[in-house]
Structure 1
Amino acid sequence: MQDLGISLLFKGSNMARLFGGLWVTVQISLIAVLLSIPLGILFGLFMTLKHPAARLVSRVYLDFIRIMPQLVLLFLVYFGVTRTFGVNLSAWTSAILVFTLWGTAEMGDLVRGALISIPRHQYDSAEALGLTRLQTYTYIIIPQTLRRLLPLAINLTTRMIKTTSLVVLIGIVEVLKVGQQIIDANRFDYPTAALWIYGVVFFLYFFACWPISLVSKRLEKRWR
């Protein structure tokens, strides 16, 4: 059993350390999501404006965030900004900032898509019934938008949880880094432990994202 390396998982506090690393991952993801949702809603509303300047700004921001890999953004913020402008940003702050910027762009595009998917005749029907613009959005547009938006926003949360594994490269000790530390510290006594450690990391990510995916699928089926 020891030769297989599986016993290393239960040696000392290794399993507790892995769960602690997962909690760091979840914390970064949740904070970024909670910041991205309101900012993304505002950005999505901004993207629906007809003004040419608004369209240009939103398109440039969205394309920049989507084209630039998240890892490059992390390095740009954590290494580039701190050294060039003398701003003291911790790895934790840099990670939350980058993932909030990314989440805001993705969430904004989801909001924009949900808003423009509402047929124009529903606005016209509300106007024919004498509803004010506020009433139209409150009773007709927003409820339908939420039905279209919520499952997609939940999927964005799972993507963010998985992508936060990149923060290991700027020194944050999350679940992947903890796994690497355990493997490196025991590489001579447990030469095959990498399979089991990374296997556990895989299942930790899976069980962190799987319930969220189930909620998204259930909502899609319920509101279809």
Structure 2
Amino acid sequence: MQDLGISILLDSRNMLRLLEGLWITVRIAFLSVAISMVLGIVLGMIMTLKNPIIKALTRIYLEAVRIMPQLVLLFLVYFGLTKAFNVHLSGELSAIIVFVFWGTAEMGDLVRGALISIPKHQYESGRALGLTSAQIYQHIIIPQTFRRLLPLAINLTTRMVKTTSLIVMIGVVEVLKVGQQIIEANRYTAPSAALWVYGAIFFLYFLVCFPISRLAGRLEKRWQG
């Protein structure tokens, strides 16, 4: 059993450490998503404005986020900002800053797309009924936008959870880092432990992401039907 390395996972202390690492991963991801959703909604509404300067600035922001790898952004914030401005940022805080920066851009574009996809006659019908602009948004635009946006926002959550695996590169002791520590500590007594430890990490990510993905699929089917 020891030769196969599975005994490493049967040690309750190692499993507890992996679960603690998973909690750090989930905490960073969901906190980043929550902040990104709030800021992204505001950004998405700004992106629908006709002002050419605002359009240009938001487009540059969006394209910069899409072109720049998240790992480079993590290095820029964690290593670059600390050196350039002599500030101390923990790995977790750096990760949250980067994921919010990324998630806000993605969420803003989703909100923009959902808003402009509402046909113009919906606004005109609301005005014809004597509704104010606030009432049109409250009773017509926002409910439709929410239905179109929620499955996409949930998928963004799944992507962010998976992308948190990059934060191991800036020293955050999340689930992947814990797995590496366990493997390193047992490299002589259980040289095959990597297969089982990384397999367990895969399973833990699956347990977190699969229900979220299924929820997004169900909502999309229900609201399209």
The TM-score, its normalising length taken from structure 2, stands at 0.98
Aligned counterparts of 1:167 and 1:98: Cα–Cα separation in 2 = 10
Aligned counterparts of 2:16 and 2:222: Cα–Cα separation in 1 = 38
1:95-134 equivalence runs, <5 A = 95-134=95-134
Unaligned runs of 5+ in 2: none
Structure 1, 86-95 or 148-157: larger mean CA deviation: 86-95
Counterpart amino acid of residue 71 in structure 1: L
Aligned counterparts of 2:137 and 2:158: Cα–Cα separation in 1 = 29
Unaligned runs of 5+ in 1: none
Aligned counterparts of 2:130 and 2:15: Cα–Cα separation in 1 = 62
Structure 1, 159-168 or 122-131: larger mean CA deviation: 122-131
Aligned counterparts of 1:73 and 1:8: Cα–Cα separation in 2 = 35
1:201-212 equivalence runs, <5 A = 201-212=201-212
1:53-202 equivalence runs, <5 A = 53-202=53-202
Counterpart amino acid of residue 22 in structure 2: L
Aligned counterparts of 1:191 and 1:69: Cα–Cα separation in 2 = 33
Counterpart amino acid of residue 14 in structure 1: N
Aligned counterparts of 2:12 and 2:214: Cα–Cα separation in 1 = 34
Aligned counterparts of 2:17 and 2:86: Cα–Cα separation in 1 = 34
RMSD value, Cα: 0.7
1:9-28 equivalence runs, <5 A = 9-11=9-11, 13-28=13-28
Match of 1:223 in 2: 223
Counterpart amino acid of residue 183 in structure 2: I
1:36-51 equivalence runs, <5 A = 36-51=36-51
Aligned counterparts of 1:98 and 1:184: Cα–Cα separation in 2 = 29
Q: Deviations over 1:44-91 (max 9, x none)?
A: 001000001110110011011111000000000000011011121111
Aligned counterparts of 2:12 and 2:109: Cα–Cα separation in 1 = 46
